[in-house]
A and B are shown apart, each in its own frame.
Chain A
């Protein structure tokens, strides 16, 4: 049984200007100890996917489908039961380390609160001891426990956020664009940390990013999202070396690759307006290979050589 199984997930937002469909029937799974990269441009629905898994979407969101964690459907779980699972079985690290810690709470109190709420520590001292040990392994001096978030650098704050996501040893960590707000040097350090965590803790991860290069580095498999739908899903190595979907190919060309000599090319055009997605294949207005069929008919997601791809031309 997969650790996480997302089945036919639909998410719609009701906004003042109409209904936006953020996810249109996405299915995927994460195995025990596996890192699944989720990649796409902004508006592809990748962050919605992460929030939907841990059920933290805004109230304006309407969700259909199921999210099975260890066989339990998180979408229908009572609030209190879900709360117990959050933090202990599934946790999340957010994009902006500058705003994801409570500015009026000391770092240590974040850990104490978390561990006491979940009964993982009996006393404050015990919680602080465990937190200090973990932080040191994550490269943050123990003394930082006494500091307030604003006294830490961005990189340190993100390490703290990762520590908060790991301390209860959850089976799944959702990492939503965790390096986007950081500069290149710190980004590198955090990515190295993620790889180390993956090695040492064997934690499963949903690694959400817009950067195909990062996915290639940390993920085992990758799901490429475009306009709320899966474009392609498969082993990272295969997807990167031989992309099947034209969108995956475009994504790969838009990021610098280590040691790569290929010319960088941004993807032409804009992601579609999700209040009114294009008919047929959603990528067709931007696809260099689009045919008449792509404009009319929606390509199904089919298996091809152990991979899933949704493209008329490649299936």
Chain B
């Protein structure tokens, strides 16, 4: 299969996967016991109020009609419903929160990949030293730490002594300043730089440091493990031995032969970690009061507003489907055997 066909095939598969996920979301909402309205307003609300609210939300219609309506509003109208109390469109709420989550996810991935690849490569390079053992203990312990606990520890251990901010995305002053900027994309970094406000950008980065570190460290364990395992797998291959027989420098053997061939399993793993990244982001955002989609979910839970949770889950499904497409296309970039 050529590259073009491959990408087209994956493109065709993505909506299918999305459809499955959305169907799953829908049936979880409707089929599981528990009703969004009684959850919100208590079990003993008057019958006619309940009926009216149900009609408003279209919950009185037959299941298959609701299903079609749900898909129609998500896919065609890009409508995720409104919040139960303030009647704000959920899609608007998510749109304002999404940039923060994207920023955090990117920063955390950089931290995780940085730590993981560095430790994995060092383990493979100095296989006979104590380092691989250390890396192994590190990744097991990091895997066992709940991300919110790690966040709390960093807040107490790092932020308190150093004066780093522990909550929010910006200092209050800059929050106000940001609102008055002419160029607005929702991405604080882009907005502040586009408007020449380096101070806001710096403030943002300082605020992002701890959450990114928390989520990044949490994910670095698995990156360390997988980097090490896949690099050492490549390091026992014939081509690695042949490279050594040709007198290629050991670091080059580790990077060009070991790591370069390990990229394929690493990429698979990185794709799967997107799930852990998004899940971890909910807890990290809650811990640091980072106003992203994850915190929105938490607020939705607190307010018992199910429209928010459902809308966020729908958006997460979209992200997951997109990422799996990206990962698949990325294969063709790292593996020449897929390319032809």
Direct contact between A and B judged by beta carbons closer than 8 A: yes
Residues of chain A whose beta carbon lies under 8 Å from any beta carbon of chain B? 54, 56, 59, 79, 83-88, 91-92, 94, 96, 99-105, 113-114, 117-118, 148, 150-151, 161, 164-165
**Distance from B157 Cβ to chain A, minimum over Cβ atoms (Å):** 40
A130–B245 Cα gap in the complex (Å)?
20
B243 x A102 contact (CB < 8 A): yes
Q: B237 contacts the other chain (Cβ, under 8 Å)?
A: yes
B337 x A103 contact (CB < 8 A): yes
A148 x B256 contact (CB < 8 A): no
B242 x A117 contact (CB < 8 A): no
B241 x A94 contact (CB < 8 A): yes
**Distance from A51 Cβ to chain B, minimum over Cβ atoms (Å):** 8
B335 x A114 contact (CB < 8 A): no
A105 x B256 contact (CB < 8 A): yes
- For the side of the interface on B, what is the size category? 20 to 34
B245 x A59 contact (CB < 8 A): no
Q: B340 contacts the other chain (Cβ, under 8 Å)?
A: yes
B246 x A102 contact (CB < 8 A): no
Q: B257 contacts the other chain (Cβ, under 8 Å)?
A: yes
**Distance from A59 Cβ to chain B, minimum over Cβ atoms (Å):** 7
**Distance from A83 Cβ to chain B, minimum over Cβ atoms (Å):** 5
A135–B214 Cα gap in the complex (Å)?
53
Q: B244 contacts the other chain (Cβ, under 8 Å)?
A: yes
A59–B244 Cα gap in the complex (Å)?
14
A150–B261 Cα gap in the complex (Å)?
14
Residues of chain B whose beta carbon lies under 8 Å from any beta carbon of chain A? 128, 237-239, 241-250, 252, 256-257, 260-261, 263, 334-337, 340
A100-B247 in contact given A148-B336, A150-B337, A151-B340 (Cβ < 8 Å): no
A91 x B245 contact (CB < 8 A): yes
A114-B246 in contact given A99-B237, A103-B239, A104-B260 (Cβ < 8 Å): yes
A101–B242 Cα gap in the complex (Å)?
8
A84-B247 in contact given A102-B256, A103-B261 (Cβ < 8 Å): yes
A59–B132 Cα gap in the complex (Å)?
16
> What would 13 more interface pairs be, CB under 8 Å, given A86-B246, A100-B238, A103-B261?
A56-B244, A79-B250, A83-B248, A83-B249, A94-B242, A94-B245, A102-B239, A103-B336, A104-B336, A118-B247, A148-B340, A150-B340, A164-B242
Q: Which residues of A contact B334 (CB under 8 A)?
A: 104
B242 x A161 contact (CB < 8 A): yes
A99-B239 in contact given A83-B249, A104-B334, A113-B252 (Cβ < 8 Å): yes
A92–B243 Cα gap in the complex (Å)?
10
**Distance from B130 Cβ to chain A, minimum over Cβ atoms (Å):** 16
With a 10 A CB-CB cut-off, give which of A91, A94, A102, A113 has the most chain B CB atoms.
Answer: A102
A161–B334 Cα gap in the complex (Å)?
23
A87 x B246 contact (CB < 8 A): yes
The 3 closest A-B pairs by CB, nearest first: A87-B247, A86-B247, A99-B238
Contact of B239 among A54, A86, A101, A113 (CB under 8 A): A101
Q: Which residues of B contact A79 (CB under 8 A)?
A: 250
